Amino acid sequence: MKVGAVVITMGNRPDELRALLDSVAKQDGDPVEVVVVGNGSPVPDVPEGVRTMELPENLGIPGGRNVGIEAFGPGGRDVDILLFLDDDGLLARHDTAELCREAFAADPELGIISFRIADPETGETQRRHVPRLRASDPMRSSRVTTFLGGANAVRTRVFADVGGLPDAFFYAHEETDLAWRALDAGWMIDYRSDMVLYHPTTAPSRHAVYHRMVARNRVWLARRNLPAPLVPVYLGVWLLLTLLRRPSRPALRAWFGGFREGWSTPCGPRRPMRWRTVWRLTRLGRPPVI
């Protein structure tokens, strides 16, 4: 199976990007073809053989990754598997690409693999990086209902079936949107603890747009993908959880502003998942109301 990799960068982490690309080049088996997308910025120097694309403006995370997908042909069809890696990450092992080949070859229903993210200094995995509700044991691999955007592998046939990431999201929840569409099309998603991307421990709220985007895109996610009766339940649960976490006043104002924006602006095409997909998500441990 042919493997490619998409890395988007703002050009501000040249040393980390070089280390990541070196770790990709060291993968066992056939070489992984890499495309680095400069998302509204020049691409730093990269090793020979790595393709680069420089976008005139920042298209956001999903927009930048979609450009990277198309660099491998329509829907990425020139390769069988695409890795999506954060530019400040580092593949911890030399066999990750081979493990992906083996996993996809062994399971024809497997569409997406979510890697384990670990801090390079401590080896610890944050709970938010385990894409399931029972996140206390990051070393347990399992079927899941979503995946981590900067540490994953996708069978490119998924894009042919359901399309790419939602460009308009810009940042936050674009992975869950793709995951729900893939699950509705019959694909499965695995979390694999043995496929590791080293990444420094960070807080998602470091991004200035975090609270607004999280709230707006949560509404868009529900409006686009959920059966109508579940939309108010899903958003009501997340509103309650947000209040219980007691964010600061500025954060709460930004969150409610994004929540309103999610209702008042177009969310893209609405394709509600089938009720059997709702049941599949429930059996996998995360009904689409949480």
Average pLDDT, the chain: 96
Strands 90-91 and 3-9 come out as unpaired
pLDDT of residue 207: 55
Average pLDDT over residues 129-157: 97
Spatial neighbors of 30 by CB under 8 A, at least 6 apart, are 2, 3
CA separation for the pair 135, 158 (Å, rounded): 26
Tokens 């009720």 found at: 275
Q: Look up residue 139 and give its two tokens.
A: 């070393």
- Cα(7)–Cα(166) distance, rounded to whole angstroms? 17
pLDDT 10s digits, 82-126: 999 999 999 999 999 999 999 999 999 999 999 999 999 999 999
Token look-up 């920042």 returns 58
Six-digit token string for 245: 């976490």
Structure tokens at 8: 């988007």
Closest C-alpha among 209, 206, 208, 220 to residue 261: 220
On the question of pLDDT at 42 being above 60, the answer is yes
- Count helices and strands in the chain by DSSP H and E runs: 9, 9
Q: Over the stretch 181-229, which tens digit does the pLDDT of each residue have?
A: 999 999 999 999 999 999 998 777 555 689 999 999 999 999 999 999 9
Residue 138 near residue 192, CB atoms below 8 Å: no
Burial state string for 21-55 with b = 16 or more CB within 10 A and e = fewer than 16: bebbeebeeeebbbbbbbbbbebbebeeebebbeb
| Residue 202: predicted pLDDT | 79
Provide the token pair at 147: 């995946």
Query: Would you say residue 130 has pLDDT above 60?
Result: yes
Q: Which stretch of 21-30, 238-247, 271-280 has the lowest confidence by average pLDDT?
A: 238-247
- Residue 101 CA to residue 97 CA, distance in Å, equals 6
Residue 259 confidence class, pLDDT cut points 50, 70, 90: very high
Of 237, 241, 243, which is closest to residue 289 (Cα–Cα)? 237
- What does the pLDDT read at residue 205? 59
Mean pLDDT for 12-21 is 97
d(CA 104, CA 62): 23
Q: What is the DSSP string of 57-72?
A: S--HHHHHHHHHHHTT
What pLDDT, on a 0 to 100 scale, did the predictor assign at position 208?
60
49-77 tens-digit pLDDT: 999 999 999 999 999 999 999 999 999 99
pLDDT at residue 203, as a whole number: 75
